[in-house]
């Protein structure tokens, strides 16, 4: 936790999880490093999709990188406890918004 003195946040987490919380101080860089180890970056997934698209005649939309991208989006949405996921397709990119 970047601010272990945040008693309000600790109380909210304890109330939400019904668990005792022992906060440990971590810098934002350490937290981001940990998150990057457990969650593949969108850029790396998109690179895999492009590579597979270039190397194969198979349907890229049924490929493992697409499934990995959707799993990452859904996992992020669940972690943030969002109520809606909005996909906005554009000509050159896709925008994903959580609400």
- Distance from C-alpha of 71 to C-alpha of 15, rounded to nearest angstrom: 28
Of 62, 44, 41, 43, which is closest to residue 53 (Cα–Cα)?
A: 62
Tokens 């990057």 -> residue: 36
Q: Are 67 and 45 in contact (CB under 8 A)?
A: no
What pLDDT shows up at residue 35? Answer: 64
For 72-94, write each residue's pLDDT tens digit: 888 888 888 888 999 888 888 87
Q: Residue ranges per domain, the chain? A: 1-38, 39-99
For residue 74, what pLDDT is reported? 87
Count of residues for the chain? 99
Give the DSSP H or E segment for 95: strand 94-98
Q: pLDDT of 1-45, one tens digit each?
A: 677 888 888 888 888 888 888 888 887 777 767 666 555 566 676
Cβ neighbourhood burial of 45 (10 Å; 0-12, 13-18, 19+): buried
Chain segment 52-62, per-residue pLDDT in tens: 666 655 555 55
Asked whether the whole model's pTM tops 0.85, one would answer no
């Amino acid at each position: 936790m970047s601010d272990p003195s945040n008693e309000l946040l600790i109380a909210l987490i304890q109330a939400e999880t019904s668990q005792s919380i022992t906060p440990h101080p971590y810098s934002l860089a350490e937290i981001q490093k940990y998150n990057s180890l457990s969650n593949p970056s969108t850029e790396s997934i998109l690179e895999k999709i492009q590579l597979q698209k270039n190397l194969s005649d198979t349907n890229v939309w049924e490929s493992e990188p697409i499934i990995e991208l959707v799993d990452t989006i859904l996992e992020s949405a669940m972690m943030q406890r969002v109520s809606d996921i909005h996909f906005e397709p554009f000509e050159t990119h896709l925008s994903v918004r959580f609400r």
